[in-house]
Amino acid sequence: MTRTYESTPSRKVAFLGLGVMGFPMAGHLARAGHRVRVYNRTAAKASEWVKTYGGASAPTPAAAAEGAELVFACVGNDDDLRAVTTGSDGAFALMQKGAVFVDHTTASASVARTLAGEATRLGFAFVDAPVSGGNVGAVNGALTVMCGGDKAAFETARPTAMAFAKAMTLLGPSGCGQLAKMVNQIAIAGLVQGLSEAIAFGQKAGLDMKAVLEVIGKGAAQSWQMDNRGPTMIEGKFDFGFAVDWMRKDLGIALEEARHNGARLPVTALVDQFYADLQAAGGNRYDTSSLIKRLG
């Protein structure tokens, strides 16, 4: 897919974390004309990014963030996020007054609120901005971004972030982006399990499931999961991006939040255990549609 970019002023930006999501996201920023300095825990990955996209790399998050107007991050979890933001080598140590830190990590709402408070104390802003769309969305610059934080900071960051997004929405104060991502993952978990059971049932009944999905995909059962993962589930292919390990991490965050707010998530808790079964069977790196393997 060839991505075209809206004309926006060139910004001095940093990007922390060059995993399967961060690497192409930072690349879109560079291709959109922004001056990008990257940091990655494994320096070789940062060097690879520079060879691919230009820009520059830095030895620490602080060095990457120094002088940047916008600092983006996409790392693994709460602990990884704290590691790149706090301490003498963390980005917060050298971020300039008035800058904006935009966090695309899927993390807890509590860590987002804590870091937003610390950023405010230091004179800059923090926006929690987890994404949906997976690696394909990152590569194609078509992510959906759910944000929490200050409206002015969001408006400052949005034009630049649209280099890798198709939609970016402010949903409320700090933590609301992370809470929205939990809603997203709760919905997906139930959908994938339902689709797995439907396909497995149809196969046991001797139906041509490709033909069945084509028919029911034109009706009320249609979903992105059915359109995109249904055919690959039938073929037994499970190497399409978002891994079981990552989904379990995300569902764990949602279940922990539910314990605090009183929400009841019986289906989510059950599907989380089904994913644990896949991990125990060695399916850690299968994509999330591999739930169907439990039903074979």
Catalytic residue positions, numbered: 181
Q: Are 286 and 278 in contact (CB under 8 A)?
A: yes
Distance separating alpha carbons of residues 145 and 9, to the nearest angstrom = 21
- Residue for token digits 């990008």? 36
> The tokens of 3 are what?
């991505």
How many whole angstroms separate alpha carbon 267 and alpha carbon 185? 12
Nearest to 168 by CA among 113, 224, 128, 115: 128
Whether 100 and 156 have beta carbons less than 8 Å apart is answered as yes
Class of residue 290 by CB neighbours under 10 A (exposed 0-12, middle 13-18, buried 19+): buried
| β-strand partners of 81 | none
